[in-house]
Amino acid sequence: MTDRRNSDEAAIAMSQRRSQGQIVVARALWYVKPGHAELRTERLGPVQPGAARVATHYSGFSRGTERIVANGDVPQREWQRMRAPMQAGEFSFPVKYGYSATGIVTAGPDALIGRHVFALHPHQDHFQVATDMLHPIPDGIPIKRATLAANMETALNAHWDAATGLGDKVLVVGAGAVGFLVAHLAKRIAGTQVAITDTDSAKAAIAGRLGLKFFASTEAPKDNAIVFHTSATAAGLDTAIEACAFEGRVVEMSWYGASPVSVHLGAAFHSRRLTLVSSQVGHVAPRRRAGTTHKDRLTMALSLLDDPALDALVSDEIAFDDVAARLPQILNGSTGGLAPVIRYTQI
């Protein structure tokens, strides 16, 4: 038995060494001009020490941010701050962008081979990164659901910025993936009253699957201690301000790129002593920064994807081969619902 096991292990090691030295031709999605993208090939050389190769199973869109990138609307003064961790190319075009990929390690250290991992990597069918850029997906969390990790990290950081507490009345304005995750986390805090609102009444079905109360934007509940705004519209921000209680907090999570936004700060904004808080995932929230690294935060975000109900946020798929042609309707939401998850052929 021992001889057979040693033989099997030797065969696995030999297969790994062959894989390490292979040159792979990968394909990646590149934004090439406003509203247009294409799949481009690139050669991945042998895997170097301290790195690993991943075969991608799924990747997720951040519809709001990637719409701005795809339209060339990233302000020039933000080009360096808005770089994704493994971005290639430069703003505005051409650029390879994205930060929500999951897959299986096919070459690299023995301890990682065969592991399901998450990486902040653009949309690409095979990629190589330093091993410290890979985050093992916890057991029990499906690899498709794990594409929500970057969005969950954004939602987690927003709650740290908001200092959401026991018994708070919370409203989320904007029922996209991030908005739903913010509401989902709020609902996990004891005693909270949580609701979500959107102009698209079809989102009520997704809210129901997550056990959340949904309201049309004209019927959003008032007097909320904390209102999170994720719709990236001026009208949504006005709704958020109007829905706040006395001395309440509006947490602005939307990014508008180069587009100006009009906000009504007249009426009762000052008399109700409201606070407008900016929340952005590029930095760990100040109240947690001293003891929490970016890696710590992402590890926590992955662990918080332990609820099967969250599969409602990744139910729609699109094949990687079809993404470039269908990109405009995906990013502009003309297909309805949430942005689809990209499915790769090696699944």
pLDDT-based confidence at 5, cuts 50/70/90? very low
Find the DSSP H helices in the chain.
2-21, 63-70, 149-162, 177-187, 203-209, 234-242, 286-289, 294-303, 323-332
**What's the pLDDT at 28?**
98
CB 52 within 8 A of CB 121: no
Residue 12 clears pLDDT 60, i.e. is over it = no
Q: How far is C-alpha 189 from the chain's CA centre?
A: 22
Q: Which helix (H) or strand (E) holds 96?
A: strand 95-96
Percent of the chain with pLDDT over 90: 84
**What's the pLDDT at 91?**
95
CB 210 within 8 A of CB 309: yes
Tokens of 105: 């390690």
pTM, two decimal places:
0.92
pLDDT digits (tens, 9 = 90+) for 114-136: 999 999 999 999 999 999 999 99
Question: Which residue, 123, 124, 90, 94, is CA-closest to 33?
Answer: 94
92 prior amide bond cis, ω within 30: yes
pLDDT-based confidence at 3, cuts 50/70/90? very low
**What's the pLDDT at 7?**
45
Tokens of 253: 């999570």
d(CA 229, CA 250) in angstroms, rounded, equals 7
Question: Which residue, 66, 70, 69, is CA-closest to 79?
Answer: 69
Residue type, 276: L
Residue 95 clears pLDDT 50, i.e. is over it = yes
Instruction: Tell me what the pLDDT averaged over the chain comes to.
Output: 92
d(CA 343, CA 60) in angstroms, rounded, equals 9
**Which distant-in-sequence residues (6+ apart) come within 8 Å of 291 by Cβ?**
none
Q: Which of 16-25, 43-52, 153-162, 217-226 shows the lowest mean pLDDT across its residues?
A: 16-25
Q: Give the chain's radius of gyration (CA, Å).
A: 21
Mean of the pLDDT values across residues 133-140? 97
Residue 346 clears pLDDT 80, i.e. is over it = no
Tokens of 35: 């509203």
pLDDT digits (tens, 9 = 90+) for 164-185: 999 999 999 999 999 999 999 9
* Count of helices and strands (H, E) across the chain: 9, 17
Residue 271 pairs in a beta bridge with none
CB 27 within 8 A of CB 21: no
**What's the pLDDT at 333?**
73
Residues 37-67 as b or e (16 or more Cβ within 10 Å = b) = bebbeeebeebeeebbbbbbbbbbbbbbbbb
Rounded to 10 deg, the angle between the 323-332 and 63-70 helix axes is 110
d(CA 308, CA 189) in angstroms, rounded, equals 18
CB 109 within 8 A of CB 130: no
Residue showing tokens 């989320």: 172
